[in-house]
Structure formats: structure tokens, C-alpha cells
Amino acid sequence: MNDSTFFRLMCAGVLVCMSSAPNAMLIDRGIGLIYDTEQNLTWTQDAGLSGSLTWDEAMTWADNLIFGGFDDWRLPTTTQFGDPTCSLDVRGTLFYEHRIDCTGGEMEMLTNLYDPWSNNLLQNVNSTRYWTSTPYRDWIDPCVDYPNYDVACNLPNDNGIRTDFYWQWGFTGFGGINGPAYKTTLKKGNHRYAWAVRDGDVLAAVPAPAPIYLFVSGLFGLFGMMKRRVG
């Protein structure tokens, strides 16, 4: 982290202490980062940084992202198909499954608490869906559960062909652009957006100057003043 980033973070921290409500849940850190106090996560303020990517590209993008002085970004996680928080289970085929109004995952909770689609703190939230890092059914082909699974596997010898699907989340749009938020499955070669997140608060990651550092710095400052006076 460079000195200018450190200074901006410290200034942001002072402003937060002075002006934020004690129970605020989304806090603008002032450097393009938003802290989610409920989940103890930091999101990039711009939800459109990635552009449209395949799942592999999205994972690589998040892993290599350096933003706000931090390099530990990742894609959000979500729950699997048995998420009890979802209000509706819509399963059309084995290729595409949908869950409505969930709160079990990180983007789901963000939606439930703060409504990113209309929240002025967040920028460029896309109407398309966003990749998560969670593979559909943990890479287990649902055909292995048939006939207990309620959608038939109609293709012969197709075990394994559905293991490259991943969960994604839409902040709006199920059944139309004004529809409810939802998550669905999609094969990883398709293009969707990615939203970077990191664990914790960026202010907590800023190291405070150690007492010995302040003491030595003060000595050097005093020595410099004395040298100038003598000169």
C-alpha cells in the first residue's frame, strides 16, 4: 500500500468516526471502496469494473485485481441448491435452476439489506447476472441422483457434462428487468459480470505506526531542526 492510499484511508476513518451513525451498515470509505458492516466485507464501489467475462476470466480478474492498495480480492460465494432462505424454487431443466429472494450468500445478503440496484452509494450495478465462485452442486452432476431428482436425465451416458456450471446472482430481473432478485446456474463459458469483494474492513488492514517508529521519527525530526539551526 502506498503512502497516498494510507493517508486517504486514515482521513476516511476520521470522517467515519465523526459523521457515521453507530448502526450504519454500508460505509463509504472514500477511495472507491464500500464497507458492509453486517457481513464484515468490503466491496468495490463500482460494480462494473470487470466488464463481461467468462467464469474462468472472472476468477482470474478478481485474483489479480489490485484496487485501493489491496490485492486480496475474490468473487463472492453463495449457497448450494438446498438454500432454505430462498422463497421460491424454480427448476426448469437440469441445465438451469433458479432460486428467488435468497439471503444465504454474500450478494444475496447485500441485496436483502441494501438493495444495490437502487442504492446511491453503489455505482454501475448491472441488470445482467454476476458470477459467484460457487460451483453448481460442488461439481457433482445431478444426473447421478436420478430418478430421485425431479427432472429426468434424457441424454444417454451424459454423466459429467453438467459439472462446469456455476451459480450466479441477478440483483433484479427474474421474469423481466423489474423482476425480483434471483440466482441461477450457467455454464462457465458464458459471459457475465463479476463484482470483487474482500474480507474485513480496509481501515482494519491499515497498520498503525508503532510507538518505536514514532519515537525514532521524532528524534530524526529534532536532529534535523538542530542541524539547520547550527548551519
Rounded Cα gap, residues 135 and 140, in angstroms: 9
Residue 7: band (very low, low, confident or very high) from pLDDT cuts 50, 70, 90: very low
Domain extents in the chain: 3-230
Position with higher pLDDT, 2 vs 104: 104
pLDDT of residue 213: 42
User: How would DSSP label each residue in 89-146?
Assistant: EEE-SSS-EEEES--SSHHHHHHHHH-TTT-TTSB---SS-EEEEEEGGGG--GGGGT
pLDDT of residue 71: 96
What average pLDDT does range 5-12 have in this prediction?
44
Flag whether pLDDT at 116 surpasses 90: yes
Residues 43-57: pLDDT tens digits? 999 999 999 999 999
Residues 196-214: pLDDT tens digits? 999 999 987 754 454 444 4
DSSP 8-state class, residue 231: -
Flag whether pLDDT at 138 surpasses 80: yes
